[in-house]
A and B are shown apart, each in its own frame.
Chain A
Amino acid sequence: MAVLTVDGIDCYYGSVRVLENVCLSVEERDFVGVLGPNGSGKTTLLRSISRTLKPHRGVIFLNDADIYALKSVEVAKQMAVVPQDNVIAFNFTALDIVLMGRNPHLSRFQMESEKDIAIARKTMELTNTWHLAERPLNELSGGERQRVIIARALAQEPKVLLLDEPTVHLDINNQLEIMDLLKDLCIRRELIVLAVFHDFNLAARYCDSAILLNDGKIISMGNLNAVLTSENIRKVFQVDAVVKKHPITNSLYIIPISMPKPSLSRKLSVHLICGAGTGTTLMKILAEEGYNVTAGVLNVLDTDYETAQLLKIPVTSEAPFSPITEETYKVNLEMMSKASAVVITAVPFGYANLQNLEAAKEALERGIPTFVIEEVPIEQRDFTKGKAEKHLTELKSKGAIFVKNQNELLSLLDILEDKLNMTKELSSKIPGHFKSETNSCEVDEVDGSKSSNF
């Protein structure tokens, strides 16, 4: 049976509608993540469930009772909230704060009894904050403070726990500690946990189900696998993302891939000789910068191959774990010849990919500028008993340009691009005209002080 049911609520701030026809129901032991971009209504949903923002339309039931018909003290006995910011006006100690969680269970004239202290102690031990009991809350670190606030919420002995971005501003160790704690509470204490998250991967790792909000409406809801799809993420965030199972945690994880900037488009095309992940970042940067990127030869299943697929970069590929065949070699060379530059990353060379260097040599001979990134010395990544090293030395003697890192490469490519544009302009105009144009430019500069349009 659903403990918490939200039935078709609309919420407004003034005349602005923030939630529209939101329906959901949560059962015992559910760990639900509320996800969505900024301004999608996540916090508003939490506020309306926590009886803070009354919806204009629709009802919220807590164990079959309309929460807005209940007294706040009745709701507080069953539902606790961990807000996002926890600024406390006065210098209360951590224990004082946790004991305030006993408020709904105390009558107006009752002081906290030993039983209340015992409950506070139990929740503080659970959140690993008992040793901080006598410290002022405002002197604690962000992670400690968050755990004290969770202890306060637990001291209410609630059935439902609402949290607004419980891990924001925390270090990763604190993030994991809090998430582990919440998961544990959910399983062992039969608590319903409904939490807003910014971090999809953290949510994906711990939540049982998710609610994806956009523009005040539920886009998708239910099992994580159904909610966290790249289509949904594109729909909500306008970002391409990869959704995969993590090999170690076996939970979903999401890698956002930013879209190529449409304003940039370059004439230069670059062919990458890479592999084993050495080309991944470069591919992404070059694609984003607007270069026409190709790559090869790459083995299918290679990290760089997968990245190229994702970025829709044309690749000459070879079967997994196989050496390059004569045929593939030719296809690759063909691809290289169409490029305006060839870049060799600091990829390890073995007998299976050695031919790529031969291809590079041939391309260089055909007059295509070749760049070699030497981030790792070749001795450390040459598994061909010096053959690869020999090829590289030859490339160098034939005029290949060796660069220290990616950034140096990018600046050289920029220069190459400018040169290419210039030659294209040159070829489209007669040389004399070009010269006179430069002259007029100089004249303009001299007259700059007089001319108003400069």
Chain B
Amino acid sequence: MAAPQTEALRADIGGLVDRLGPGRASLVPILQDIKRRYHEIDAETMQVVAEALDIHPVEVYSVASFYAFLGSRPQGVHVIRLCGTLSCDFAGKDAVAEALRRELGVEFGETTADGQVTLEWASCIGMCDQGPALLVDDDVHTRVTPDDVRAIVAACRADQRRADA
């Protein structure tokens, strides 16, 4: 990648380390923030974060790859996570899943070609009494029907940036 982007990345990570402190405990919050802004924690990011916290890059990779909301693979600007656990299953998550696949044209675990939306399964998101439930980034949608999917996806496609990024 071009140097100016690296400089911007370094500045961002530097800012995060200043705010959160240079201790190991800052690693997860730093990666969470990076993921929000860049939708990806790539090898270069891991290197820069490792230097800032004085740990080995493989340590950063090991943590990033452990957590479902971090991950080392690139994601879209928005992530739709459909709850796959039993109560949402009983409530009809399969039909919602099919509508999401159709509307987005991707399988679960994939990102749309325009880099705008990633579709994933989530483990129980604590909306079991109001399923099927899904998360769009940090926002919860409950009692989702296949008919609701079009509007949910359209909103993701229209919104070029995460509101909280």
Query: Real complex partners, A and B?
Result: no
